[in-house]
Structure 1
Amino acid sequence: MSTLDRMEIVELVELHARSLELAAEVVDAVRPEQLELPTPCAGWTLRHLLEHEIGQRHGFAAAARGAGPDLALFAPVPVGPDPAGTVRRTGAELTAAFRDAAAAGRALWLPEIRDGGPFPLDRAVGFHLLDTLVHGWDVAAALGTADGLVEAVEGDGELLSVLVAVTEAVPDTPEARAPGRAFRPGLRPGDGAGRFDRVLALLGRDPAWKG
């Protein structure tokens, strides 16, 4: 039985809220002139990455409220003049939507993932928890502050265990990791790598990336 299978959905939603807070703390430090910095996401500046994250939060929240498989709901959204405020506002909206979906026992349509679903809520929350923490690392790496996020995640055993469980379930096949897919082919973790660095490597990211 996996970590996700043992966890109550209400508990998982609150754990996801912790991941959103850790990611928001990273974005709190972003200055306007840093939005054009490169990120570990090839071809994406920090602005592009944040716009993707905000769009994903809109899409997952809409799905949690019962929307069908509409790709337009997941489109990137401009960061506006207050990236940190936008990230925190959309995070709060997503948490509220996940709580409502948990109370209603609602599955989610996620058109960007495999056949689109519907996916059980625990799987959908797990998907976005992974997305939140890995893109949180992308932002922190672009800012040169990745070590702080890694330490915070590794210091939260429950959160880290869920992240590892979701990551290990991501297929690592040529089809699943082809160009244009969410993740690149997995890398071999370095000797002595911590659990979060192993997550990054499994998803095709170099934990030692520097802009």
Structure 2
Amino acid sequence: MQIIDLRPADERAVRQSVEVVAKAGRDDLGRPTPCSAWTLGDLLAHMTAQHRGFAAAARGRGGDPAIWRPRPLGADPAAAYAEAAEEVLSAFAGRDVPAREFALPEIGPGVTVPGAQAIGFHFIDYVVHAWDVARSLGLPYELDDDLAEDALRVASAVPGGEYRTRPGASFGPELPEPGNPSSLDRVLTALGRSPNWPGGA
């Protein structure tokens, strides 16, 4: 089976997320987000921790659940986020990374997946979470057409079902698409996000 290397797309999505997060100040951390009950501060702590967890997984050290736990935000959350983003991009850069096994304990104890698949998880997370941050801040967020198509392909492969309604699920149940949806709209609705948040579906 051909391995699809999403690292270039992932890097673009991550760097776009860094640009969006850089616009958030400490006074913004209490803002609501499209991520259920999370504030923007909660979301940034999660995003930063996930970068560190995926970086550890790429280096063969992702099996410890403690690595994936969010830490308290420091004095400059945007700078800490940017540092974590550079860490994961560096960890993903090795030639054989897509063929490695990544330990992802948040999915389940002892769970490992091929690196190429794990990078796909990371990519779609940061497309959606960058949108989450932008919406929380009331800022526009767009994807280049080719990046949106990559994201739509990954989003369409995310399984549906009961697990999406469980506490802590990464994505909610699929929503109806709006009229004349963009590729980004289709990504969002496939993963349970309303493109019109906070105004509804």
Distance 2:101 2:124 in 1: 18
Distance 2:110 2:33 in 1: 28
In structure 1, the gaps of 5 or more residues are none
- After TM superposition, the score normalised by the length of structure 1 is 0.87
Partner SS, residue 94 of structure 2: helix
Distance 2:110 2:130 in 1: 24
Q: Which residue of 2 aligns with 1:65?
A: 59
Any idea what the Cα deviations from partners look like across 1:49-95, whole Å, max 9, x if unmatched? Answer: 00001111111111111015222111012231112211111111101
Aligned-partner residue type, residue 41 of structure 1: C
Structure 1 vs Structure 2 CA RMSD: 2.0
Partner SS, residue 133 of structure 1: helix
Shift, 1:104, TM fit: 8.5
Give the aligned length.
199
Q: Which residue of 2 aligns with 1:41?
A: 35
Q: Which residue of 2 aligns with 1:184?
A: 172
Identity of aligned residues (%): 40
Q: Which residue of 2 aligns with 1:195?
A: 183
Any idea what the Cα deviations from partners look like across 1:88-112, whole Å, max 9, x if unmatched? Answer: 1111110111113735942201112
Any idea what the Cα deviations from partners look like across 1:148-189, whole Å, max 9, x if unmatched? Answer: x22xx1x241x2222111111111101344333111111011
- After TM superposition, the score normalised by the length of structure 2 is 0.91
Contact 1:65 1:100 in 2 (8 A): no
Q: Which residue of 1 aligns with 2:68?
A: 74
- Structure holding more helix per residue: 1
Aligned-partner residue type, residue 191 of structure 1: G
Shift, 1:190, TM fit: 0.9
Shift, 1:36, TM fit: 0.5
In structure 2, the gaps of 5 or more residues are none
Q: Which residue of 2 aligns with 1:139?
A: 133
Q: Which residue of 2 aligns with 1:205?
A: 193
Q: Which residue of 2 aligns with 1:170?
A: 158
Contact 2:97 2:115 in 1 (8 A): no
Contact 1:54 1:79 in 2 (8 A): no
2:46 to 48, 52, 69: 52
Shift, 1:116, TM fit: 5.1
1:25 matches 2:13: no
1:83 matches 2:77: yes
Distance 2:29 2:166 in 1: 27
Aligned-partner residue type, residue 163 of structure 2: E
